[in-house]
Chains A and B, each alone.
Chain A
Amino acid sequence: MKMIPVETTINGDQTEFLCNADESLLDVLRDRLGLTGAKEGCGTGDCGACSVMLNGRVVCSCLVLGVETQGAEVETIEGMADGETLHPLQRVFIEEAALQCGICTPGILIAAKSLLAKNPDPTDTEVRYWLAGNLCRCTGYDKIIKAVQKAAAEMRAA
């Protein structure tokens, strides 16, 4: 199969890659670019572990083709911290023990960040519905919701 050249921007860096026409963005990120922060939990868009931002929207990268990112802006978990300074959501997730195994954490952080960009002061219910596409099997979501709210409050005060 002939590979297709793609030019895109990932976490602010101009990136070029070759991929097959049927290759998912998730596979491109993980297998071709070494960005393994996005995880494959299902490959069918049901678990959200592979969530990334594509042109400002949260998507399941397992449901996007690599070739669709031509000219696009992609943000992954690897781009969330600013050097050694964690994003408030990342820091508060550690402080509030909002992760156990951590496999869903990158996807949840990506989704939570996009929520707070749109709605800096969500209700608990709004957080719960926004994150309903991100499965977590360890925490029961309780500490995740609290961490998002704590980070949101910090970000509003900043």
Chain B
Amino acid sequence: MALDDQAKRTFKVVGTRVGRPDGIDKVTGKAAYGADITAPGMLHGRILRSPHAHARIKSIDVSEAAKLAGVKAVVTGADLAIPDDEGFADIAINCLARDKVFYDGHAVAAVAATSKSIAKQAIRLIKVDYEILPHVTDVDAAMKPDAPAVQEGRALENVPAGMSQNVTTRCAFGHGDVDAGFAKADKIIERSFKTAATHQGYIEPQACLATLGSDGRGEVWCCTQGQYMVRANCAAVLGIEESQLRVISSEIGGGFGGKTSTFIEPVALALSRKSGKPVKMVMTRDEVLRATGPTISASMDIKIGMTNDGRITAARGELRYSGGAYPNETIEMGAQAAFAAYDLEAVETVGWNVMTNRPKEIPYRAPGAPTSIYAVESVVDELCQELGLDPLDVRLLNAARKGTLSAYGPTFNEIGLVATLEAAKAHPHYTAPLGPNQGRGLSCGFWFNFGGNTCVSLNINDDGTVGVVEGNPDIGGSRASISMMAAEELGVPYEKVRTVIADTSALGFNDITDGSRVTFAVGLATIEAARAAIREMCRRAAKIWGIDEDAVLWEDGAAVPAGPNAGTHPPMTLAEIAAVAGNTGGPIAGHHEVNADGAGVSFGVHLVDTEVDPETGATKILRYTVFQDAGKAVHPDYVEGQMQGGAVQGIGWALNEEYIYGEDGRLQNAGFLDYRIPVASDLPEIETVILEIPNPGHPYGVRGVGETPIVPPLAAISNAVSRAAGVRMCELPMSPPRLLKAMTG
């Protein structure tokens, strides 16, 4: 696309720090999130969950619950369809179990009642007869051939015979002769790593208000990263038609990938259909942690060979991810991302997904990448230490750049890794002095970035203002960014544009808000929709002026004659054209529908200083700097916000957060007291440096920025802690007891 244009372009709106359209609503408490609305006559739904990690459901007796005064409906798995499609079928049996429960927290039955407290009482009256089955929650244990089978017959054809039934898929990426590469190395390090599952930790639990009639017509209001995804899942699971289900996305109180699936919406719809009333369901925090998507847990072996002067000669990785009790594709992204930052002659990555008796994995910000890159960047750091090399110089020496055949297949176009590394090297943080028990770590990070299916409508209003209708929930300020790009392209002030998020009946299909795709893909479609509206406005001006439409140009928000031959007409502004649109052909709008590609990969580098306490094993983050290529930062505040927020989620993953399962297969820390996410007093300032290496695939050069920043913290902190503690750490989180044990032997 028009990279040449964009390099010359001087932006007026893009790159400024305008106020957000939802700002006042959000600072005054007016903004309506998932749990904030009610409907006349509505009931309250509640779900009964399995206390067992793995069990057969012999029977469910709901009679006592159904008899309780105020209970209007009870549903079990039998009330949902089992779609033919395996993915939808997994969603159905995850919403309400059928014959077996697969993990502690798996939904078994649900009630709708006239009050929350009656609903809570009612689920206690449901009698479930379980036959407890052997369970497995650890990825390595689940991979042993004699491990209890979480599900049977789920392995894809690419899994060799004779492996545990829990192994569902194998993937492999790479190129070159790895053994020959290792033969050329002066130093080879091979290490094994483990990382715990973590949760997205959005502060707003899943919530919805649903209504469904016996005629199959319904509505859902819910907090989600994708209203079209909710529609598709609910339609499949309830056996109704998508056209009859309208899904409205509320303001969303955080998602980070965790709201890219459905847990309660189909259940609320089933309860509504049965009771004939609207049903509201709001998850508790305990339910969120036990039953919605944590990320994968991982076990990984990484081997890298290096010459004495720091050139990597070969790299091999074997990754075992568990995405919980179902087949899962996150391993593929983890295996592809592992060595993406390096220009390698010989590289091989093999990945396995393994089922365990844990909740179904749901993507968490750059799914799969933080863990694999943590392992790779740890080994690179250890090689630097052993060979006495500067870790930034070694990254620069081996960095992927334009023309590099990536470890996962594609050849890179314009990428910003070298510029980002150079920015880190030039930053005063890199050479600041360190004290006793302190260490500095760094890591590269990478994310693919997605494009995907996108629809945008852009309406020119008769008063000269502009309405943009898009279909992706605004999770980090995207309505502002989309309005900015519309204003930029049209040449009108930002304040003249209002962007709204459509419900599923108001706009064509859009992929979910994921993969850092929205500012890129919705922005691209918005710019194209604005261009379509501009073409129409130029036609209208040509008509008014009585000249050929090719003789009209769009400059600074107005139609102007292209040159002296077109006559001497004063410019007609957008507002002037809009005011007379009724006389020149009717309302003016532009729209664009696209399956966008060219998202442009994103690289980041994080620098961190840590101090470890030799007496307690506690780690303090002293200083943190994030460097990242944003392509073009549309709203720099929000880009910085993504960089800071991602870094802090990574800090939590590195130091504290983990799913802890007992011998009984039950989750032991299903609350924010024991599943400890970072708080303000844990942290220093998070400094940010935005690089702008334009993405050739976007008219303004935009790259997604949301996911890359959670990738580097794991290794950056582990490298800093390992250097500070004088012992190489190979397991996350580096909680105080674990670090203390490593330090004291």
Contact = CB atoms under 8 A, between A and B. Distances in A.
A42 B176 CA distance: 51
A66 interface: no
A56 interface: no
Given A44-B672, A46-B673, A94-B20, A138 B204 contact: no
A77 B28 contact: yes
A58 to B, nearest CB: 14
Contact of A138 (B20, B27, B476): B476
A140 B648 contact: yes
Interface in A64-84: 76-78, 80-81
A44 B454 CA distance: 40
Nearest to B33: A103
Interface in B212-255: 251-255
Interface string B423-457: 00000000000000000000000000000000000
Contact of B26 (A27, A30, A99): A99
Contacts of B254: 100-101, 103, 137-138
11 contacts: A31-B38, A36-B35, A38-B29, A41-B253, A94-B20, A96-B637, A99-B27, A100-B645, A105-B26, A109-B27, A134-B679
Contacts of A78: 28-29
A10 interface: no
A44 B671 contact: yes
Interface in A113-137: 124-125, 127-129, 131-137
Given A102-B253, A138-B254, A35 B29 contact: yes
Contacts of A93: 23, 27
A139 B641 contact: yes
B672 to A, nearest CB: 4
A39 B203 contact: yes
B22 A102 contact: yes
Interface stretch (B370-378, B681-689, B737-745): B681-689
Contacts of B32: 36
A144 B672 contact: no
Of A30, A94, A129, chain B has the most CB atoms within 10 Å of the CB of A94
A131 B117 CA distance: 32
B377 to A, nearest CB: 21
A103 B253 contact: yes
A39 B33 contact: yes
A22 B116 CA distance: 12
Nearest to B639: A97
Nearest to A35: B29
B29 A36 contact: yes
B672 A42 contact: yes
Interface of A: 1, 20, 22, 27, 30-31, 35-44, 46-47, 49, 76-78, 80-81, 86, 90-91, 93-97, 99-106, 109, 124-125, 127-129, 131-145
Nearest to B709: A140
A142 B679 contact: no
Give the interface SS of chain A, mostly helix, strand, loop or mixed: loop
Majority SS of interface residues in chain B?
loop
A138 B645 contact: yes
A64 B24 CA distance: 28
Given A44-B672, A49-B203, 19 more contacts: A31-B38, A36-B35, A40-B282, A41-B285, A77-B28, A78-B28, A80-B28, A86-B28, A90-B28, A96-B637, A97-B17, A100-B476, A135-B672, A137-B203, A137-B645, A137-B677, A139-B641, A140-B678, A142-B686
B412 interface: no
B647 interface: yes
B88 interface: no
Contacts of A37: 28-30
A140 B253 contact: no
B683 A43 contact: no
Contacts of B253: 39, 41, 101-104
Q: Identify the 9 closest CB pairs spanning chains A and B, nearest first.
A: A37-B29, A103-B253, A102-B26, A140-B648, A97-B637, A140-B644, A46-B672, A94-B23, A77-B29
B61 to A, nearest CB: 26
Contact of B672 (A47, A91, A99, A125): A47
Contacts of A99: 23, 26-27
A21 to B, nearest CB: 11
Interface of B: 17, 19-20, 22-24, 26-33, 35-36, 38, 116-117, 200-205, 251-256, 282, 284-285, 475-477, 635, 637-638, 640-641, 644-649, 671-673, 677-683, 685-686
Contact of A140 (B23, B117, B476, B686): B686
Most buried by B among A101, A104, A141: A101
B609 to A, nearest CB: 16
Nearest to A95: B19
Contacts of B22: 102
Contacts of B117: 1, 20, 22
Contacts of B477: 97, 100
B43 to A, nearest CB: 13
A128 B681 CA distance: 5
Given A132-B681, A135-B679, A143 B644 contact: yes
B285 A90 contact: no
B644 A142 contact: yes
A134 B29 contact: no
Nearest to A103: B253
Contacts of A90: 24, 27-28
A94 B27 contact: yes
A141 B680 contact: yes
B645 A86 contact: no
Contacts of A31: 38, 116
Contacts of B681: 125, 128-129, 131-132
A100 B641 contact: yes
A80 B28 CA distance: 7
B645 A140 contact: yes
Nearest to B207: A40
Contacts of A145: 680, 685
Find the residue from B282, B645, B680, B685 having the highest chain A CB count within 10 A: B680
Contact of B679 (A44, A80, A95, A132): A132
Contacts of A140: 641, 644-649, 678, 683, 686
A145 B253 CA distance: 20
A31 B533 CA distance: 45
Given A100-B477, A109-B27, A134-B680, A42 B285 contact: yes
Which among B256, B637, B638, B641 has the highest number of chain A CB atoms within 10 Å?
A: B641
Contacts of B23: 93-94, 99
Contacts of B645: 100, 137-140
B601 to A, nearest CB: 23
A86 B19 CA distance: 14
A41 B19 contact: no
A46 B683 contact: no
A96 B645 CA distance: 15
B680 A138 contact: no
Contacts of B17: 97
Given A44-B671, A47-B203, A86 B24 contact: yes
Contacts of B679: 131-135, 141
A41 B203 contact: yes
A31 to B, nearest CB: 8
A97 B672 contact: no
A141 B677 CA distance: 12
A18 B407 CA distance: 65
A131 B19 CA distance: 24
A103 B672 contact: no
Listed residue (B24, B255, B645) with the most chain A CB atoms within 10 angstroms of its CB = B645
A131 B682 CA distance: 11
A20 B117 CA distance: 10
B203 A104 contact: yes
A136 B640 CA distance: 16
Nearest to B635: A97
Contacts of B683: 128, 140-142
